[in-house]
Structures are given as structure tokens and as C-alpha cells.
Amino acid sequence: MTESSAGSVFRALADPTRRQILEDLRDGELAAGEIAARFPITGPSISRHLSILRAAGLVRERRDGNRIIYSVAAERLALCVGEFLSAVCPDQVLLRHRRAGRQGAGATRRGQAQPGQAEVK
């Protein structure tokens, strides 16, 4: 990811309204009007926030008739934030991976399936 690309993501995340929009989209798609109805600001202001999120690649949009439907681009967000965390605090990322590995190994030793795996009987 380029520095300017990561910069646009973090600039988009700097605003609390845009962070709230992403949280609202976490559970699924919403139309622009549905998003606007959740905030005490004008429709054009919400449209500008959505435009910034779209330009940063954090939301996707599709047309459904005369409505614009938005969804969060979770993989882009995770990739950008993950790369930043890996660069800034790599030791913490390694510790987290090790802890996750030990927890998964412990569950397997106890005969429990790891997340995403079928239980073996």
C-alpha cells in the first residue's frame, strides 16, 4: 500500500462521523438516505463524508434503481490498519499471533475444533 493511499485511509478515519458510518455499515448495506437519517447533520454533509470514505476505498457503492447502496470495504480497512500496526509495533503483532497459536493448539489438544474447522469425533 502506498503512503498516499494509507494517508487517505487515515484522513478518512480521523473524523468521528465517518467512523460512525463505518460502524453502521458493519452489519450490512445501507442506502444513503438510511445513513443520513442516523445523523443530526444535513444530507449534503453526509454525502461529502461518504465521498471521502469512497475515495479512500473504505466503502463500496452500488445503484439500486434511484438509490445508492453503501457497504464497508472491510478488507481494505483491515489491510491498511494491519500494515500500519505491523510497522509501528511489530513485537505486539508477533505476540498476538503467538497467543492466538497457543490458544488454538490448546483447544485442539482438548479435542475442540479451532474456529473455522469442523470438530473431529
At 36, which amino acid appears?
A
**Mean pLDDT in residue range 41-64:** 97
**Chain centroid offset of residue 53 CA:** 11
State pLDDT tens for residues 77-119. Answer: 988 888 888 888 877 766 666 777 776 665 554 455 444 444 4
Which of the 8 DSSP states describes residue 62? E
> What's the burial of 79, exposed, middle or buried (CB within 10 Å: 0-12/13-18/19+)?
middle
R_g of the chain computed on alpha carbons = 19
Give the three cell numbers for residue 100.
492466538
Looking at every residue in the chain, the average pLDDT score rounds to: 84
Q: Confirm whether pTM is higher than 0.95.
A: no
Question: Which of 44-48, 50-54, 77-81 is least confident?
Answer: 77-81
Q: List the Cα angle 90/93/99 in 5-degree steps.
A: 140
How many alpha carbons lie under 13 Å from residue 1 in its C-beta half-sphere?
22
User: Grid coordinates representing 76?
Assistant: 481494505
Q: Which domains does the chain have, with CATH numbers?
A: 1-111 (1.10.10.10)
